[in-house]
Structure 1
Amino acid sequence: DGSLSGGEALEAIDYAGEFDGNLIVIINDNDMSIAENHGGMYKNLKALRDGNGKADTNLFTAMGLDYVFVKDGNDIESLIAAFSKVKDSKRPVAVHIVTEKGKGLSFAEENKEDWHWHMPFDVETGKAKYNYDGEDYGDLTAKMLLRKNEEGRKRMRSDLRYSHSRRLLER
């Protein structure tokens, strides 16, 4: 799903197709990214979902992987059957598993975006186990980027003292 749209994931799948031996690539497809899905990857996954694993184009087979489709990835028996089928494969295989985000937790099913990722929580209530009011990685990253931006501006202003730097800006 959304994670596959990154370059590193696509490079890994591309190289996996050249691998000689047992390699199982798990595609957890919950039809969701943090933001609205769009683009070629989304369209191909949707076509595969809608066609029960069959579509005119299959990105994974095009990249040299065998392909197995699991329509109900929240069903343990379906998962056991799929992995039993591929566990001794002599070739790389993509196991495309369609899952429902938050399956079984009403509060997560009803508000998938907020529950895309969550701190540890009580499964009965959905309440966070810990009250954390400090800075998180998002806050710290934003502060660092703003600081680096300001440092860059100061450096640029000091560089403008030199005539060769001014000439660059005039071009």
Structure 2
Amino acid sequence: MVMCDPCSRHNKSSDGLKYCTDCEDTLCTDYIALHSAVKLLASHHLFDVSLTTGNTFSIKKDCKDHAGMCFEFYCADHDFLICRTCMANMHRTCGKIQPIDVAAEGCRSSSVLEDVSKDITSLLISTKTLLEDRQKKKTSVGQSKAKVLKKIAKF
């Protein structure tokens, strides 16, 4: 369970449901509503906490080419996250630029993700089978060793 950061700072306890990459805070229902109500916060990018596997978020949001600029867009032509300056200077002729949150909407349900999940499941099953087979062979070698040692002792 991830806690709401603003609530924690006020000695309250609430479950965090969304993560704001701009504030770098996990937010509860009340603070999510505040984000959409306050004009200055309305353009912030919120993501479901369930999209991450752990309690830490390591989302790189600063453009390495333009100091002080944050990634806001995804250029599908170049498969790159870009800031406003990148968009204006280097990607102005690109036809497939979207805000990051819009571009990310279909990621969790994409067929590519489904294929990768199936491949991983298949690899896990194969690995389990190999480990079981190895254990059987190890047991068999141990039994063979015992038989050989008995024969040597009788000889």
* TM score, norm. by length of structure 1: 0.26
Greater relative contact order (Cα 8 A, min sep 6): structure 1 or 2? 1
Larger Rg, first or second structure (1 or 2)? 2
